[in-house]
Structure 1
Amino acid sequence: MKNEQKQKPPVEDSPAETSKMKKNEKFVWPWVGIVANIPTEVEKSGRRVGKSGSALRDELIQKGFNPTRVQPIWNFKGHSGFALVEFSRDFEGFENAMKFESSYLSDRHGKKDWENGSHLRDDKPYGWVAREDDYNRSGIVSKEVRKKRDLKSLSQIQEEDERKMNQLVENMAQTIEMKKISKQELEHKVNETSRVLKSLELHSAQLNQIYKEEAEKMQMNLQEQYKQILLGHEKSLSALERKRVELEERARQIDINEAEMEKSRREREMNQKAMWEQNEANKEAMNLAEKHQASSSLVGLFKEKEKLHKKIMEMEAKLNETQELELEIENLKRNTNVKKYMVGSDGDAEYMEKMALAKTQMELEARETALHEKMMALSQKERVTNDEYQDARKEMILFWNGNEDLVCEEKIRVKRMGQLNPEPFLTALKRKLRGSKAKADERAMEVCSMWEAQIGDVQWHPFKVDDSDGKAKNVVDKKDLKLIKLRNEYGEEVYNEVVRAKQELLEYNASGSYVTLELWNFEENRKATMEEVTDVMLKIRKDLVAKKNKRKRR
């Protein structure tokens, strides 16, 4: 309703004023009033001076005309006695301008009175709203009026405003449709991401279950292998014990054989000695026989006996060599069997166990690597989706901030996070100074600006970490000297406002320390969601379309 009132042409206070204003009468736009016959003085230098623009503006504000600016007109002699009074561009500014003109008309100090020469009889100022004749005439006043201004009738301004409003409605409708499509796409992406996340969670749970089962199975296999190894060791110990007994028995047999071989060797030596003695005796007998001319048959018998004895000696030597060779072969076989058994019973089992463990470890590492790659891909996709969401929110904030007149009465509006509200400062300074309102307002703005700069200082951190309840959080440092001085000098409300602004700045832009824009739900005092923002935009679009259709029916 407030916006509609601003867009309607003003209704004048009396029929007389209405009759004076023609339908197509052209005014200087943006609206500007002219004040003439402003009192001036001549300085020692010969230059005229008069009231400043700010002083004239304050006087007109106190009268309720609400000008935005007052510009004194100067010429080569100094202050010309004229000033231009600027009003806001909307119809509310036009109403203030007409009130300004009516005030001077009721006091007989309007434009006609000025032109009739009434100003020659008094020193009071005259005022009126600039129109076509003021725009087109010559002189320094008209020259200043024409700067950056134009002539327009009320109907032209209303038509232009309607055209702009229609264009704005069309643009908003297109933007809303685009944002709606973007929202649907984002929702689809979020749903798809959620589905993928759930699928990955399920897959991760399955992998964890498989890993658990494989680990249990591997543990059971290791235990079984350990039992088999123990059993194999026991069997190996038993076999070794049997081998040891056999080897000891063989060694004993070998020792016995060696003793028998030694005994046989001694007997052979004794036999050889006896045979040598016998041979010597035979030789002696043969000599005796030859000497006594014994018979030839006895000599032949002794010769055959000597040949037989040599053959026996050769056969016994070969037998000794054969027995020594067999003994050496048996020792070599015994050493070879012992080494072979030791390698087979210990090395092979340990090697097989290590190979099985290495294979299982490689399989687990491969599965873990695959899961990590999937999680990384999902995180990347989630980051891209979040960036798109943040870009859409920034565009929405820019659109919202550029159309504040349409959303000023909605619960969702743009909030400047970290910006101070000057109201507590105005209240505190009015209470403290108890003087002129203008001085209190000026001082309040200075103090507010000073504290805005202080809040933006990244070196100032009036908070400390409190973990008394088990959770670390930032709380106000009650020993901070600047906050203590602020509370003592300006009160609790100003203190709370500064703390609030600093906390918002740290939360929303801790690194930059400057005010940021955020869509805010003022009804619930929290950050607005994209769904809430879209609903409000659709509502505004519906209202604008309804107003447009209503104007067409008229």
Structure 2
Amino acid sequence: MDISSDEGSESDFSDSEIQEKKDKPLQQLRNGTLKVKYPHGILRCPFCAGKKKQNFKYKDLHQHASGVSKGSSNRNAKQKANHLALAMYLENELAGEAEQPLKVAAPIPAPPVSEENDLFCWPWTGIVVNIVKEAENGKDVKDSKYWMQRFERYKPESVEILWDDEKQSAQALVRFNSDWTGFKDAMEFEKSFEAARHSKKQWTDSESSIGSSIYAWLARANDHKSQGPIGEYLRSKRELKTISDLVQEATQTRNKKVVELATEIDMRNENLDDLQIKFNQKSMSLSRMLLEKDDLHQRFYEETKKMQRLSREHVQRVLDEQERLNEDLEKRRKNLDSWSKELNKREALTEREKQKLDEEKRKNESQNTSLHMASEEQKKADESVLRLVEEQKREKEEALKKVLELERQLDAKQKLEMEIEELKGKVQVMSHLGDDTKVQEEIKKMNDELEAKMEEMGSIEDLNQTLLMKERQSNDELQEARKELIKGLQDMLSGKTNIGVKRMGEVDMKAFHDVCKERFGHEEAQIKASELCSLWQDKLKDAGWHPLKVVMVDGEHKEVINEDDELLKGLKAEWGNGIHDAVVDAFLEMHEYNPSGSYVVSELWNFKDNRKATLKEVISYILKNLKSLKRKR
């Protein structure tokens, strides 16, 4: 049962009521309304469903519930009450799900009870007395290294020697490790001298000369309070502590550290949960982007293959048409040559027949000359058409290469962005795993890789900008080509053709003429139609007249003609639908092609399909009708 929305809302009770409000969720957990245990030993928090990772072990889930119930500043009272109930449910009802605790190494055995209340000098210190300087024995007793080597089996940390004024005898202070291992070594040090009957008791009991043998024992309270250089040294650099005091201090330090570590673990678990959620969201988003990218790439590849096929078919049709025209022209030229030869063979018997024959010869020569010029002109046109086809083919190939390069750069850019996002997520997750040396090395390696990816990203951005500039330049050249075709077709074409130039925003005069012919005489209808057409053409140029309204069509806002506009209603009522529709069509064309200038513009137009013509359609039409166009010129 997902009740995460309740946790996210503001609580309606205070922190003081948490203990009372925990009963209801605890009862829901017990009766099965809220489910915690799932098959295969999976445990989940029913109060964080959909927000945090779902699968927990018993220890992790108990730690999560306890941490939230103790609360932080970003947890409200209701969340604390719910997680307190979960912690109690886990302790009382699901205690059997707990993992077996790890076996803790047995502590160092405590010293005998008789020594627990003895006051020792701490850090543990051994006292060595009766060190006599004897030059002939070959032992450098003045050097602390000598004593470190001699007591090496007891693992001393340092030895400090205190000489008397005559530099003939000395005492040494042996410092051991301050932990329990050091205490064990110090006790062994003392017992070894006791076994050799060179302990403190033998030293104090001796009344006569004791020779050059050394005596040693572990420093205690009476040594700390004694007079002389040893007592002064111990009072300045050592403390008196019992075994019980050290055990209690160690216990307090350990408990404090455990509490600090538990708190830090709770905080890190919460941070890791949040990071895991963000990482999962990023991964899902990147997966969707990859699927969309693959789909777009597949569609682009199919469309590219289709465009290449159509381009090849179009070029082949142009070449076939050109070859057919050349064959027809050559056939006509041969017929004229044959006719000319036949006329030359005829001889007129009378002057009149000769004159007719001469006149026919002149006409024939004129036609032959015209055909020869047309043939030369046709050859030039053929060469121009071939150059135009090659140029168009080259431009298409370059445009296709640019599009493919842009697609490749876009793929590389998207891939780099996804890799960078994934690396950032990994670095952020790794940064919360602690200060371990291997983790830090891994983070450094990821940061270096991330910097390399960012540099590569910058290079791709620069290349992408260059390609975009080239694409923009190609588009500008295509627009210039459309302008030149419009200018040329206006001079070349006459009459009705499938492909031509249409003046967008110009009112259709025929609609006015048809209506006026029904109401007026022939001459008056011409004048009246011209006046009305000029009047409404000027009206279209008025920026203050805007007969449009915005409506919702299929969930989108679109502009349509406002049929309630007073001028349009008056025009429709007075002159009918024909003139009304002609004005509306002209206004929509002007609004689409030149809304800011409000003047008529020329555009290449496919009159057959009543739409804007493409450059491919215009060039194809010119090639198919090249012969008829040259005759009209």
| TM-score (normalised: structure 1) | 0.50
**Match in the other structure for 2:123:** 30
1:78 has 2:167 as partner: yes
Q: Give 1:171's aligned residue.
A: 260
Give the superposition deviation at 1:377: 1.0
CA contact (8 A) 1:69 1:85 kept: yes
Q: What residue number does 1:237 align with?
A: 323
Relative to 1, partners in 2 of residues 1:394 and 1:22: Cα closer, same or farther, differing over 3 Å?
closer
Q: Which runs of 5+ in 1 are unaligned?
A: 13-17, 272-315, 401-415, 417-506, 508-554
Distance (whole Å) between structure 2 residues aligned to residue 74 and residue 387 of structure 1: 61
Q: Structure 1 pair 337/119, CA: closer, same or farther in 2 (3 Å)? A: farther
| C-alpha contact (below 8 Å) 1:50/1:79 kept by paired residues | no
Q: How does 1:371-450 map onto structure 2 within 5 Å?
A: 371-393=411-433, 395-397=435-437
Aligned-residue offset at 1:106: 5.2
Q: In the alignment, which residue of structure 2 is the partner of 1:127?
A: 216
Matching residue's letter, 1:5: P
Amino acid at match of 2:330: R
Aligned counterparts of 1:110 and 1:399: Cα–Cα separation in 2: 53
**Alignment pair present for 1:331 and 2:432:** no
Following superposition, the deviation at residue 360 of structure 1 comes to 3.9
- Report the more deviating stretch, 238-247 or 353-362: 353-362
Q: 1:124 to 1:87 in 2, by over 3 A?
A: same
Once superposed, what is the RMSD of the aligned Cα atoms?
4.4
Q: Distance in 2 between matches of 1:210 and 1:358?
A: 20
Preserved CA contact (<8 Å) 2:132 2:168: no
Aligned length: 337
User: What is the CA-CA distance between 1:102 and the residue it aligns to?
Assistant: 3.8
With over 3 angstroms needed to count, the CA separation of the structure-2 counterparts of 1:92 and 1:359, relative to structure 1, is: closer
| 1:50 match | 141
CA distance change for structure 1 residues 368 and 226 in 2, over 3 Å: closer, same or farther? same
Q: Give the drift of 1:182.
A: 3.7
CA shift, 1:119, in A, is 6.7
1:217 corresponds, among 298, 306, 313, to: 306
- Find the aligned partners of 2:219 and 2:439 in 1 and give their Cα distance: 36
1:11 to 96, 104, 112: 112
In structure 1, C-alpha distance between the alignment counterparts of 2:304 and 2:212, rounded to whole Å: 106
What is the letter of the counterpart of residue 129 of structure 2?
A: A
Structure 1 position 57, deviation (Å): 4.0
Tell me the distance in 1 between the aligned counterparts of 2:210 and 2:399.
Answer: 115
Q: Tell me the SS of whatever aligns to 1:34.
A: strand
Asked if the contact 1:73–1:79 (Cα under 8 Å) also holds between the matched residues in 2, the reply is: no
Q: Does the CA-based 8 Å contact 2:199-2:217 persist in structure 1? A: yes
**Does the residue aligned with 2:240 lie in a helix, a strand or coil?**
strand
Letter in 2 for 1:236: Q
Larger Rg: 1
Residue 135 (structure 1) shift? 2.8
Which runs of structure 2 are paired with 1:99-114 in the superposition (5 Å)? 99-105=188-194, 107-114=196-203
Distance 1:360 1:220 in 2: 13
CA distance in 1, matches of 2:228, 2:439: 44
Conserved? CA contact 1:101–1:128, under 8 Å:
yes
1:388 maps to a residue whose letter is: Q
Task: Please give the secondary structure, in 2, of the residue aligned with 1:82.
Answer: strand
1:147 deviates by 5.4
Show CA shifts across 1:399-426 (max 9, x none).
99xxxxxxxxxxxxxxx9xxxxxxxxxx
Q: Hey, what does 1:202 align to over in structure 2?
A: 291
Partner of 1:184: 273
Change (3 A) 1:96 1:245: closer
Which amino acid is the alignment partner of residue 366 of structure 1?
A: L
| Distance change in 2, residues 1:393/1:324 (3 Å) | same
- Answer yes or no: is the 8 Å Cα contact 1:27–1:153 preserved in 2: yes
- Asked if the contact 1:10/1:91 (under 8 Å) is kept, the reply is no
| Equivalent residues of 1:34, 1:82 under 8 A apart | yes
1:373 CA drift (Å) = 1.8
SS at structure 2 position matched to 1:78:
coil
SS of the aligned residue for 1:395 comes to coil
Identity of aligned residues (%): 22
Q: What SS does structure 1 have at the residue aligned with 2:111?
A: coil
Q: How does 1:120-159 map to 2 (within 5 A)?
A: 120-146=209-235, 148-159=237-248
1:294 is aligned to none
How far does the alpha carbon of each residue in 1:265-318 deviate from its partner, in whole angstroms, 9 at most, with x for none?
A: x979xx9xxxxxxxxxxxxxxxxxxxxxxxxxxxxxxxxxxxxxxxxxxxx8xx
Displacement of 1:98: 3.0
Whether the 8 Å contact between 2:190 and 2:217 is mirrored in structure 1 is yes
Contact 1:37 1:125 in 2 (8 A): yes
Q: CA deviation at 1:155?
A: 3.0
In the alignment, does 2:195 pair up with 1:93?
A: no
SS at 1:89 equivalent: coil
Structure 2 counterpart of 1:465: none
Q: Deviations over 1:41-97 (max 9, x none)?
A: 1579xx9952754444444455xx443343333355436331112211112322332
Cα distance change, pair 151–339 in 1 and its aligned pair in 2 (3 A): same
Moved more, 165-174 or 326-335: 326-335
Does the 8 Å CA contact 1:37/1:119 hold for their aligned counterparts? no
Please say if residues 126 and 175 of structure 2, whose CA atoms lie closer than 8 Å, have aligned partners that are also in contact.
yes
Name the TM-score, length of structure 2 as normaliser. 0.45
Conservation of the 8 A alpha-carbon contact between 1:37 and 1:124 = yes
Shift of the 367–339 alpha-carbon distance from structure 1 to 2, 3 Å rule, reads same
Deviation at 1:30, TM superposition (A): 0.6
Letter of the structure 1 residue corresponding to residue 419 of structure 2: S
* Structure 2 counterpart SS, 1:38: strand
